[in-house]
Amino acid sequence: MSAPSARPTDTELTEFRDRVRAHVAEYAPPFEAREGHRAPEDAGQETRLRTWFASLFHAGFVGGDWPVEYGGRADHHPLHDRIVSEEILRARAPRPVDQVNLAAHVLLQFGSDEQKAALLPRIRSSEHVWCQLLSEPDAGSDIAAVRCRCTAQPDGSWVIDGQKTWITDGHWADMGLALFRTDPSSSRHHGLSAFSVPLAAPGIEIRPIRTINEAIEVNEVFFDGVRIAADSLIGAPGQGWSIIMAGLDFERFGIGGNVILLELLIDDLVTVARHGRIDDMPALQHEDIRHQVTDLAVEVEVAKAFIDDHVERMVAGTEQTGDGSIAKLSFAETYHRVSAYGAQLSAMVCTVASDPGVALAKQRLKECWLWSRAYTVSGGSSEMMRNILAKRRLQLPTR
| DSSP, residue by residue, 301-359 | HHHHHHHHHHHHHHHHT---TTHHHHHHHHHHHHHHHHHHHHHHHHHH-B--TT-HHHH
Residue 280 lies in a domain: yes
Residues sharing a CB contact under 8 Å with residue 29, sequence separation 6 or more, in sequence order: 45, 48, 49, 52, 93, 94
- The answer to whether residues 148 and 79 belong to one domain is no
Which neighbouring-strand residues pair with 216?
210
Residue 368 lies in a domain: yes
Work out the angle between the directed axes of helices 240-256 and 323-348 (0-180°, nearest 10): 50
Q: Which residues are catalytic?
A: 251
Helix (H, G, I), strand (E, B) or coil at 152: strand
Residue 282 lies in a domain: yes
Number of domains observed in the structure of the chain = 3
Instruction: Give the model confidence (pLDDT) of 188-235 as tens digits.
Output: 878 999 999 999 999 999 999 998 888 899 999 999 999 999 999 999
Give the CATH number for residue 271: 1.20.140.10
pLDDT for residue 69 is more than 80: yes
Decide which of 96, 119, 146 is a domain's last residue: 96
Would you say 115 and 231 are in contact if contact means Cβ atoms under 8 Å apart? yes
pLDDT of residue 6: 82
Would you say 338 and 300 are in contact if contact means Cβ atoms under 8 Å apart? yes
- The answer to whether residues 177 and 298 belong to one domain is no
Q: Comparing 393 with 314, which gets the higher pLDDT?
A: 393
- The answer to whether residues 270 and 377 belong to one domain is yes
- The answer to whether residues 268 and 317 belong to one domain is yes
pLDDT for residue 1 is more than 60: no
Nearest to 52 by CA among 30, 22, 27, 87: 27
- The answer to whether residues 325 and 352 belong to one domain is yes
- The answer to whether residues 351 and 387 belong to one domain is yes
Amino acid at 247: G
User: CA 220, 367, 212 angle in degrees (round to 5)?
Assistant: 35
- The answer to whether residues 380 and 290 belong to one domain is yes
Residue 4 lies in a domain: no
Range of the domain at 143: 130-239
Instruction: Give the model confidence (pLDDT) of 115-159 as tens digits.
Output: 999 999 999 999 999 999 998 998 766 677 889 999 999 999 999
Residues sharing a CB contact under 8 Å with residue 56, sequence separation 6 or more, in sequence order: 23, 27, 62, 84, 96
Distance, in Å, from the CA atom of 314 to the CA atom of 31, rounded to the nearest integer, reads 34
- The answer to whether residues 271 and 197 belong to one domain is no
- The answer to whether residues 220 and 284 belong to one domain is no
Does the pTM exceed 0.85?
yes
Would you say 25 and 66 are in contact if contact means Cβ atoms under 8 Å apart? no
Give the CATH number for residue 189: 2.40.110.10
- The answer to whether residues 289 and 372 belong to one domain is yes
